[in-house]
Amino acid sequence: MATSLRELLSGVTTLADVNSRSTPGFDGDKKDARDAMAQLGEELADLQERLWANGTRDDPRTVLLVLQGMDTSGKGGTIRHAAGLVDPQGLRITSFKKPTPEELEHDFLWRIEKALPPPGKIGIFDRSQYEDVLICRVRELAAAEEIERRYDAINDFEQAYVEAGGTMIKCLLHITADNQKERLTARLDDPTKHWKYNPGDVDERALWDDYQQAYDLALARCSTEPAPWFVVPSGRKWYRNWAVATLLLEHLRALGLTWPAADFDVDAEKARVAAS
């Protein structure tokens, strides 16, 4: 692939311009994607272990994968398939739900900051700080000026995270209202999927256009140089999984991770072990 996926998937400001079933950067079908995942999984696991190894030696670097998207866009499935390629010990996964009363007493970024990954770990956010400018905007859960303030607050927060050694990969899993309808119908048709279905999802679905506008605003206001947005066409699950795994891989590669050098005398230790 001549162009990186990072370049191919960034720069979007209008979701309606993106075909949810397109597969930018990938020539092939579902079967090819499965093979590609298995292959990149090895490199991903190796790089994750290097990140972790350096974290044990006071290297402050971390990686944070932020997943946003409408219901059924596949945030959970992406975590299972893409993040599932690396050692689970190297992950810190946080799923952000409706804020608790305690969380609501604090600034909206309070719970987000508490969930940042420690050195050497890959953090994963299933929903994120963006809920506070998405559902909060659409459902008018905060005053208009407060929502307005949050875009800048998010940009400041993300810049500070990156300056402290973080790499943030923000993925918007893009589906259409028709994709969602198919998936909700499939859930209802399969009794083993009923537990995933929430009647409230249909209420949110009625506000589809408002959400798309709120997403477009988040893309326009919060695609910054230190933390750009990537719009991942997610109408095909296998492409979505491959694309997020590939974005993770490209960002890890860019860190140029080497193995930490020994902080002890290797020959002396060999002699000690041999004599033990």
Q: Which residues bind its own copies (CB under 8 A)?
A: 53, 56-57, 76, 79-80, 83-84, 87-89, 91, 93, 95, 126, 181, 184-185, 188-189, 191-192, 194-197, 199, 202, 205-206, 259-262, 264, 266, 269-270, 272-274, 276
Residue 169 phi/psi, 5-degree rounding, is -120, 100
What 3-state DSSP class applies to 196?
A: helix
Least separation, in Å, of the C-beta of 241 and its own copies? Answer: 13
Measured between alpha carbons, how far is 266 from 68 in angstroms, rounded to an integer?
A: 46
Nearer CB in complex with its own copies: 184/218: 184
Nearer CB in complex with its own copies: 199/256: 199
Structure tokens given for 252 = 């890890």
Structure tokens given for 79 = 């975590």
Least separation, in Å, of the C-beta of 226 and its own copies? Answer: 27
Least separation, in Å, of the C-beta of 201 and its own copies? Answer: 9
Measured between alpha carbons, how far is 185 from 189 in angstroms, rounded to an integer?
A: 6
Nearer CB in complex with its own copies: 133/184: 184
What 3-state DSSP class applies to 227?
A: coil
Least separation, in Å, of the C-beta of 31 and its own copies? Answer: 17
CB 49 within 8 A of CB 87: yes
Residue 188 CB-density burial (10 A; 0-12 exposed, 13-18 middle, 19+ buried): exposed
Measured between alpha carbons, how far is 199 from 256 in angstroms, rounded to an integer?
A: 46
Nearer CB in complex with its own copies: 40/53: 53
Q: Terminal CA-to-CA distance of the chain, rounded, Å?
A: 52
Nearer CB in complex with its own copies: 30/193: 193
Least separation, in Å, of the C-beta of 152 and its own copies? Answer: 32
Nearer CB in complex with its own copies: 86/227: 86
Least separation, in Å, of the C-beta of 57 and its own copies? Answer: 7
Least separation, in Å, of the C-beta of 12 and its own copies? Answer: 26
Measured between alpha carbons, how far is 211 from 217 in angstroms, rounded to an integer?
A: 10
Structure tokens given for 250 = 């490209």
With CA atoms as reference, report the closest residue to 242 among 17, 44, 10, 2: 44
Nearer CB in complex with its own copies: 93/162: 93
Residue 12 Ramachandran class (φ > 0 left, ψ -120 to 50 alpha, else beta): beta
